[in-house]
């Protein structure tokens, strides 16, 4: 792709975002400000029914934002209706993986609308990647916007949405890190939340890992669970097939650095650690499903 060509076009002022809740419900007080915050940034928004599904009560499945059929319908509506310009996930949590075999993949592949979110949204990002469509690992309104210390991440998201992402863009920089190793690697950027990526192993929804750059991050996963997931990636052959590994933050639990230091030197590919994305802060927007070059010495990721 020629340098300077848009990989993700700008989201112009006045663009209309469909807000969906394909995973967990919002915490009290986190839903009401969403439309106003988007208006402040110059965008229109429609909150689809899944955002309000928790108000009806789901009994033992109250970890879901709404029943499966409501969340499936909202995903279809968000990507199919011509009024929408982009799709924004309200928050992560759990539940996206329950939707995969209920989604019309051909229908979704016909829409190049940008999906914005992270965490449990990793499995929906995988669908976009499999369809050859970029998506965006980025802060979500009910998880991040307005929280102490999160303004810089939210500002970075909206600044980049307004400008778009072009081939040749350097999308961030990692500080020197003890877990980084190797030189350069080029491939399609895939991944997201480590636990959710591992949950796709053995299903038909895993994106192509051959020659890819795999990004991983996670929250509230103790070192023994990170060890188990990395072992699963190794035993499944994923870690032998990727061209490079991009390591984001692991927060909310004891640091897994000792486990990572045990696993990562075995890899035959470059590793760039300390990338400023994940459940912690900073959580800078990161395009997925696009070609990129990882440069360990420079600590950079360049698109295209």
pLDDT at 1 over 80: no
User: Residue 3 — pLDDT band, cuts 50, 70, 90?
Assistant: confident
CA distance 181 to 303: 20
Q: How confident is the model at residue 121 (pLDDT cuts 50, 70, 90)?
A: very high
Q: How many CB atoms lie within 10 A of CB 225?
A: 16
At residue 127's C-alpha, the angle toward residues 283 and 193, to 5°, is 35
Compute the average pLDDT of residues 216-225.
Answer: 98
In percent, how much of the chain has pLDDT > 90?
Answer: 96
d(CA 45, CA 65): 19
pLDDT of residue 54: 87
Sign of the alpha-carbon torsion through 64, 68, 74, 75: positive
Phi, psi of 60 (to 5 degrees): -65, -15
What pLDDT is attached to residue 58?
85
Tokens of 6: 């848009």
Rounded to an integer, what distance in angstroms lies between the CA atom of residue 164 and that of residue 148? 26
Query: Distance from CA of residue 294 to its chain's centroid?
Result: 18
Rounded distance between C-alpha atoms, residue 136 and residue 170, angstroms: 15
How confident is the model over 159-180, as pLDDT tens digits?
999 999 999 999 999 999 999 9
Catalytic residues: 119, 217, 279
Is pTM, for the whole model, over 0.95? yes
- Whether omega for the bond prior to residue 282 falls within 30 degrees of 0, making it cis, is yes
pLDDT, tens digit (0-9, with 9 covering 90-100), for 138-153: 999 999 999 999 999 9
What local confidence, expressed as pLDDT, does residue 230 receive? 98
Phi, psi at 51, each rounded to 5°? -65, -20
């Amino acid at each position: 792709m020629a340098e300077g060509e848009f990989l993700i076009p700008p989201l112009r002022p006045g663009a209309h975002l469909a807000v969906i809740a394909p995973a967990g419900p919002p915490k009290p007080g986190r839903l009401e400000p969403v439309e106003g915050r988007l208006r402040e940034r110059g965008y229109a928004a429609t909150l689809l029914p899944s955002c309000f599904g928790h108000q009806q009560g789901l009994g033992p499945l109250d970890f879901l934002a709404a029943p499966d059929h409501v969340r499936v319908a909202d995903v279809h509506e968000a990507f199919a209706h011509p009024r929408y310009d982009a799709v924004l996930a309200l928050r992560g949590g759990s539940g996206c993986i329950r939707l995969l075999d209920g989604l019309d993949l051909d229908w979704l592949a016909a829409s190049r609308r940008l999906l914005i979110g992270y965490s449990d949204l990793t499995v929906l990002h995988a669908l976009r990647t499999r369809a050859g469509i970029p998506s965006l690992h980025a802060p979500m309104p009910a998880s991040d916007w307005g929280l102490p210390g999160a303004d810089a991440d939210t500002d970075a998201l909206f600044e980049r949405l307004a400008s778009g992402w072009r081939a040749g863009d350097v999308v961030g920089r990692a500080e020197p890190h003890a877990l980084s190793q190797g030189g350069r690697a080029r491939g399609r950027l895939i991944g997201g939340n480590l636990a959710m990526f591992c949950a796709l192993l053995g299903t038909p929804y895993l994106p192509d890992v051959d020659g890819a750059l795999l990004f991983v991050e996670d929250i509230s996963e103790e070192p023994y669970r990170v060890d188990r997931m990395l072992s699963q990636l190794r035993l499944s052959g994923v870690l032998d097939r990727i061209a490079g590994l991009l390591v984001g933050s692991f927060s909310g639990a004891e640091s897994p650095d000792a486990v990572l230091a045990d696993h990562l030197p075995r890899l035959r590919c470059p590793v760039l650690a300390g990338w400023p994305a994940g459940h912690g802060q900073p959580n800078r927007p990161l395009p997925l499903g696009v070609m990129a070059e990882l440069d360990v010495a420079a600590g950079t990721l360049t698109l295209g």
